Homo-oligomer: A and B are copies of this chain.
Amino acid sequence: MGKKVTLKHIAEALGVSTMTVSRALNNRSNVDGKTRERILRKAENMGYTPNRVAKSLVSSKTQTIGVVIPEITHAFFPEVVRGIEEITYQTDYQLILTNANEQFDREKHAIQTLRSQQVDGILISSSLTEKDYSFYESILETGTRLVFFDRCIHGLGASCVHVNDRESSEAITNHLIEEHGYQKIAHFCGPRHVTIGKERYLGYKRALENHGIVINEDWIIESGFKEEGGYNAMQKLLDLPVSARPEAVVCVNDPAAFGAMEAATELGLKIPEDLAITGFSDEIRAPLVSAPLTTVHQPAYEVGKRAAEKLLKIIENEGEPAEDIEIEATLKIRRSCGC
C-alpha cells in the first residue's frame, strides 16, 4: 500500500535528476544507454505508473474523449459504442461514457462535466427536442470539438454522422404502398426538432405525397423513441373507431415499434394481418419478435466508427473541416409489414 511512485522518487533513488528519468521513460534519444537501463529497471520494480493527470496539465491533452448517448438501453447505442471503442482502442484514447437518459438537462450537465475534465473531444447523439441551439452555439464558440451522430443538430457547423434517414423512411413507406397496396398509413414520430424525428417524418410524408395519398393528421402521433411511447401511441390510435383506423403504421424506430406491437396485440389485433407495423434501426430483437419486424437496417457499428474517426481527425488536424457523413441504410423486409 506504499505511496504512489513518482519520477522524483526514482530520481532520488538513483541520484539523477527527474528530467533524466523523464527522458529515459519517454524513450528520448539523449540519454545514456546505461543510465536508461538503470532507470527502466528501477521504475519497473518500484512499480512506477506515469501520472497522466500531471502530463495532461502540461500538455493540455488528455487522450480522452467523451460520449453522450440518450438511452443506454436502446440496443442501437451499445453497438455504436462498440464501433467507437474499436477506434479509440487503436489510437490509445480513453472513452468517458455518459447517459443523458433522453433529458436535455442531463445532456448539458454531461457536456459541462466532460469539458471540465478537458476531454479532447465529444461524440454526441442529442436528446435536445426543442429549437434552442444556444447552448451548443456557445460551447462550439469556445472551441470544443464535437461530432454528432445519429441525432444531429444541423446549422451549427459541427460534423455529423448519420444514415440517410429520409430516403430510408420513404423507402419503407413506399414498400407498404407499392408492395402491399396500403393507402391508410399512420406514423408514430419522434420529436420533430431532433433530426431523425424530422427526417423520418419527411420521408414518410414524401412517400404518401408521391403516391397522391392525402395525409390524415389523426394518424400522426408523437411516440418518442421508447417502447412506452410506442405503446401509448398505439392505444391512442386504437381509440379511433374501427372504420377510421389505418392499415399500417410506420414507426420512428424499433423500440417504438415493439411498444406499438405490444399494445396492438393486447387489444386483440393480429400483426400483420390486422395491422402492419414497421420500425427503424434493426436492433437485436427485430428478427426475433413474434411478427419479425420489417425495418431499416442501420449499421450502428459503422456509425460509431465513422464518428470516432472524424472526431480524431478534428482533434489531430487543426484545420479539419466540418463534414456531414451519410451512411447508407438498407431495408430489412421481414413479416411485420405483411410479407
Contact = CB atoms under 8 A, between A and B. Distances in A.
Interface of A: 1-2, 4, 47, 49-54, 56-57, 60, 62, 64, 72-73, 75, 78-79, 81-82, 85, 89, 94-99, 106, 112-118, 138, 141-143, 284-285, 288-289
Nearest to A138: B47
A318 B118 CA distance: 29
A106 B85 CA distance: 13
Nearest to A54: B57
A25 B50 CA distance: 31
Q: Interface majority SS on A: helix, strand, loop or mixed?
A: mixed
26 contacts: A1-B141, A1-B142, A2-B142, A49-B112, A49-B115, A50-B116, A51-B116, A51-B118, A52-B116, A54-B57, A57-B57, A64-B117, A72-B82, A73-B82, A75-B78, A85-B97, A85-B98, A89-B99, A89-B106, A94-B114, A95-B98, A97-B97, A284-B284, A284-B285, A285-B285, A288-B288
A142 B47 contact: yes
A85 B57 contact: no
A49 B106 CA distance: 17
A57 B85 CA distance: 27
Contacts of A57: 53-54, 57
Number of copies: 2
B117 A53 contact: yes
Contacts of A82: 72-73, 99
A307 B1 CA distance: 22
Contacts of A141: 1, 47
Given A53-B118, A75-B284, 15 more contacts: A2-B142, A2-B143, A47-B142, A51-B116, A52-B116, A52-B118, A53-B57, A64-B96, A72-B85, A78-B78, A81-B97, A94-B98, A96-B96, A97-B97, A284-B285
A227 to B, nearest CB: 12
A87 to B, nearest CB: 12
Contacts of A115: 49
A99 B79 CA distance: 12
Contacts of A49: 112, 115-116, 142
Contacts of A89: 99, 106
B62 A72 contact: no
Contacts of A94: 96, 98, 113-114, 117
A116 B116 CA distance: 19
Contact of A53 (B1, B47, B53): B53
A295 to B, nearest CB: 15
A208 B260 CA distance: 44
In this complex, the member of A73, A79, A114 whose beta carbon has the largest number of chain B beta carbons within 10 angstroms is A73
